[in-house]
């Protein structure tokens, strides 16, 4: 397809791990953790229904322990035919881990996904929006094909001198900075759903006017999955579907399509 814009809806199904990573005493705080439980149990089914109604694909990143805790819910993603990317095992921020611990975390999550889905994960998104000096080496060693972590582009590119395709995004294309709130997270305020819809549709409309375009939206079922916020996703999907030069796709499909060409171009 010539001159078109690709849109990838990506979902980090963090469940309780999002909160556990922010407070080591989480196990004693059932209400705190219940914020995360909403993701796989209520938000995710709602998202899967929306994707199914519009017959559009999406990409998912799921921590290993979330697969272990919610096999039925995460199984919906696999049944729908969508890939599950690597998002660490426990969502612990790797900066807080030693080199060996980071490796153990990484390998454990890799094995859980491999066993659960029957295939190795192809993509990685860091749980902490950051790499340690060892993260990229681990991705290369385990044969990862794509990454969605960095904030330095509007189109996929090869990550450093690796064969890994990076799908950059940015905080304004993430639901958490607008919506993630807790009385225990200082300084947080919530945006109106209309603010978020305006931001995402404007980004799409502006980027659409440029060549080589790929818009990545990063969401969390526990955040976007609330009814008033699902309105944002629904309206955004309708806006994209109304554009004749746009298509929803996945990181995996785009990797198959773009990576061989980018690797060949680099080899010249």
Site residues (vs Zn ion, CB under 5 A): 12, 14, 127
Q: What's phi and psi for 57, nearest 5 deg? A: -90, 170
E strands, 157-254, are 157-158, 165-166, 213-219, 246-248
Quote the least distance from Cβ 128 to Zn ion, whole Å.
8
Q: Treating both helix axes as pointing N-terminal to C-terminal, what angle do 71-79 and 44-54 enclose, rounded to 10 degrees?
A: 10
Quote the least distance from Cβ 213 to Zn ion, whole Å.
25
Which of 91, 213 has the CB closer to Zn ion?
A: 91
Quote the least distance from Cβ 97 to Zn ion, whole Å.
15
Return d(Cα 17, Cα 52) in angstroms, integer.
27
Which of 15, 138 has the CB closer to Zn ion?
A: 15
Return d(Cα 62, Cα 14) in angstroms, integer.
6
Return d(Cα 85, Cα 125) in angstroms, integer.
7
Which of 12, 175 has the CB closer to Zn ion?
A: 12
Which of 11, 204 has the CB closer to Zn ion?
A: 11
Quote the least distance from Cβ 217 to Zn ion, whole Å.
14
- DSSP code of residue 211: S
Tokens of 136: 């990229």
Quote the least distance from Cβ 20 to Zn ion, whole Å.
11
Which of 220, 226 has the CB closer to Zn ion?
A: 220
* Alpha-helical runs (H) found in 21-175: 30-38, 44-54, 64-69, 71-79, 99-117, 135-141
């Amino acid at each position: 397809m010539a001159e078109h814009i690709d849109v990838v809806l990506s979902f980090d199904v963090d469940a309780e791990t999002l909160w556990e990573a922010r407070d080591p005493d989480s196990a004693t705080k059932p209400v705190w953790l219940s914020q995360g439980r909403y993701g796989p149990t209520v938000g995710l089914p709602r998202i899967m229904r929306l994707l199914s109604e519009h017959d559009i694909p999406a990409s998912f990143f799921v921590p290993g322990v979330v697969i272990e805790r919610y096999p039925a819910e995460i199984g919906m993603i696999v049944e729908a035919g969508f890939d599950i990317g690597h998002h660490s095992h426990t969502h612990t921020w790797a900066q807080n881990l030693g080199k060996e611990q980071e490796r153990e975390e990484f390998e454990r999550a890799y094995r859980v996904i491999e066993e659960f889905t029957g295939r190795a994960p192809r993509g990685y998104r860091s749980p902490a929006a950051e790499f340690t000096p060892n993260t990229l080496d681990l991705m290369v060693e385990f044969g990862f094909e794509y990454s969605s972590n960095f904030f330095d582009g509007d189109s996929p590119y090869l990550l450093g001198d690796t064969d890994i395709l990076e799908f950059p995004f940015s905080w304004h294309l993430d639901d958490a900075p607008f919506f993630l709130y807790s009385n225990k997270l200082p300084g947080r305020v919530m945006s109106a759903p209309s603010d978020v819809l305006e931001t995402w549709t404007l980004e799409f409309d502006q980027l659409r006017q440029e060549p080589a375009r790929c818009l990545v939206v990063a969401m969390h079922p526990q955040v976007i999955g609330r009814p008033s916020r699902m309105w944002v996703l629904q309206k955004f999907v309708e806006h994209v579907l109304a554009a004749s030069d746009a298509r929803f796709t996945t990181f995996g499909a785009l990797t198959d399509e773009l990576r061989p060409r980018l690797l060949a171009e680099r080899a010249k």
